[in-house]
Amino acid sequence: MSEFEKLLQENLVPLQRYVKYKINNKHDAEDIIQEVCLTATMKFPSLKNLSSFKAWLIGIANHKCNDYYRQKAKDLNISLESLSESALSTGRLGVTERSVVQDTLDMLGDKEKQILYLYFFKNLSQVDISYQLSIPIGTVKSRLHYAKEKFKEHYPYKETSKGETIMKELPVYLPYYKIEKSALAPFPVIHEELPGMFVIPRMGENISFGMYDMPSRKQNGAYELKVERKVVLHGIEGVCIQKNYKEASIIEETTVFAQLTDTNCKYLGGISTDKSGSQRFTTFLDADFEDYYGIGENNCGFPTHREPEGRIIPTDEGLIIPVENDISDVVGRFKITMNNIVYDTVRLIDFENSNQGGMLCEYYLDKNGRTVLWRRFNKNDWANQRYGKLWTEMLPGNERIIINNEIYVHWYDCITDYII
């Protein structure tokens, strides 16, 4: 194996992750990866510092992806008077914004849409806009100010000011709830919450959630999450989410990076702090990313548009799930009664086989795509080396589910301030 082949093999996974993050179309992404490898083969003799091979390879990929989107923009043939949804949702760094932006723009007049497009999406200066539209600079300034105000007026997601109290008080004990299976068919739902954290990775979003041990139902900790700012990691647009964990007198702050697209919600990385106070940054290009944040094939994350796919089969006792590392599917429609309020929900099953064993999470989602109730089940021997006992021994009275003829035991629940 040549030196180039060895280096390419070592860095092929980061290359694939990078391109597939930036290019939403699977077939186009594969074509670009092949182009990058071909270009790297031809240009390798010019690389002077072999230790920078990874950065050099990603740089080639970045140029190829930019070329891809430049061609897409030409194909779209965007006019000044018409802002198509595809033009807004497919940007220089990939698909990163939902059509809510387009919906808001559709409420504005043609002049407001035109000037916002030139200023924010074409990145023209006010002087350039004045020249292109043949209007005085003063008119540009006043029209732009008016357009911004109209957009803020109609945009549904408002940013909160610093120091504003945004979290509701979570109960010390989990309210009793009742889960009843509905005879109605499951409804399709758009689920944009970050897996396991319940916050939507969009500017202006925030949420708090509590974790409740079973069977005591007592809260053993709570998280407060707030989307703080936009970020770009390795050329990929996303947001920074501040996560504060509170347990008794302990307050732990961590940071995660995530991305919401028209089709998926996924992690981009995070920051952790060790005992010495040193911060460790992990991103999707790192080898151990999958251990902490990876979800789905090539870390595609959770699909946002959910409806039953028939991948997980319900039975009288539990579920039949194909033997895969990660699988999720909508399984049934259920009525959740909590605090005398009845919620119409679909049950989203998220199943994972980790190094420690099998685990299952249930999301009960309402028609807004928000989690009403979340429940965690462990395979009977999950993390057996750590706990030294089966979960049927540790939690003998807790609910059980039979999955593929194996026992899974109910461990704990979560609720958010969405239902408080």
Query: 345-392 pLDDT, tens per residue?
Result: 999 999 988 767 789 999 999 999 999 999 999 999 988 888 889 999
Average pLDDT over residues 8-30: 85
Would you put residue 357 in left (φ > 0), alpha (ψ -120 to 50) or beta?
Answer: left
Residue 165: what pLDDT? 40
Cβ neighbours of 283 (radius 10 Å):
18
More confident residue, 34 or 128: 34
Contact by Cβ (8 Å): 329, 346: no
Residue 401, pLDDT > 70, answer yes
Question: Does residue 121 contact residue 80 with C-beta atoms inside 8 Å?
Answer: no
Gap between the Cα atoms of 217 and 170, Å rounded? 13
Distance CA 401, CA 407 (A): 6
Distance CA 344, CA 353 (A): 29
Contacts of 27 by beta carbon, 8 Å cutoff, 6+ apart: none
pLDDT band at 40 (very low <50, low <70, confident <90, very high): very high
Residue 282 and residue 314 in contact, taking contact as beta carbons nearer than 8 Å: no
Q: What is the mean pLDDT of residues 398-415?
A: 94
- What pLDDT is stored for residue 85 in this prediction? 33
Report the distance separating Cα 336 and Cα 364, nearest Å: 8
Q: Is the pLDDT of residue 396 over 90?
A: yes
Q: Which residues pair with 358 in a beta bridge?
A: 353
Long-range contacts of 35-42 (CB under 8 A, 24+ apart): 35/64, 36/60, 36/61, 36/64, 37/8, 39/64, 40/4, 40/8, 41/4
**Contact status, residue 243 vs residue 206, Cβ threshold 8 Å:** no
Would you state the pLDDT for residue 335? 96
What is the C-alpha separation between 197 and 313, in angstroms, rounded?
Answer: 26
User: Which amino acid would we find at residue 307?
Assistant: E
**Distance, CA of 359 to CA of 137 (rounded, Å):** 61
Q: Is the pLDDT of residue 131 over 90?
A: no
State the pLDDT at residue 176.
Answer: 94
**Which domains are seen in the chain, by residue range?**
3-76 (1.10.1740.10), 85-154 (1.10.10.10), 177-416 (2.40.360)
Residue 13 neighbours by CB distance under 10 Å: 14
What are 408's strand-pairing partners?
Answer: 379, 401
Q: Are 72 and 87 in contact (CB under 8 A)?
A: no
Q: Which amino acid would we find at residue 177? A: Y
State the CB neighbour count (10 A cutoff) for residue 271. Answer: 16
Q: Which residues of 77-108 are buried (b: 16+ CB within 10 A; e: fewer)?
A: ebeeeebebebbbbeebbbbbbeebbebbeeb
Q: Are 196 and 211 in contact (CB under 8 A)?
A: no
Q: Which of 26-35, 56-65, 170-179, 320-329 has the lowest mean pLDDT?
A: 320-329
Helices and strands in the chain, H and E counts: 11, 20
Q: Are 331 and 347 in contact (CB under 8 A)?
A: yes
- pLDDT value of residue 72: 61
Cα distances (angstroms) measured from residue 191 to each of 265, 305, 326, 369, 399: 9, 6, 18, 4, 26
Averaged pLDDT of the chain: 82
What confidence score (pLDDT) does residue 246 get? 67
- What is residue 298's predicted lDDT score, i.e. its pLDDT? 66
- pTM beyond 0.75, yes or no: no
| E strand spans, 192-317 | 206-213, 219-233, 236-247, 250-260, 264-273, 279-283, 302-303, 305-306, 313-314
| Predicted confidence band of residue 161 (pLDDT cuts 50, 70, 90) | very low
List pLDDT tens digits, range 298-354. 677 789 999 999 999 998 889 998 876 678 999 999 999 999 999 999 999 999 887
Residue 371's alpha-carbon distances to 214, 268, 315, 346, 351, in angstroms, are 19, 22, 24, 10, 17
Q: What percent of the chain stands above pLDDT 70?
A: 82
Alpha helices in 93-204 (DSSP H): 100-105, 110-116, 126-133, 137-154
pLDDT tens, position by position, 70-122: 666 554 443 333 333 333 333 322 333 334 455 567 678 878 888 887 877 66
Cβ burial, residue 182 (10 Å; 0-12/13-18/19+): middle
Q: Which of 49-53, 83-87, 132-136, 201-205 has the lowest mean pLDDT?
A: 83-87
Longest dimension (CA), the chain: 78
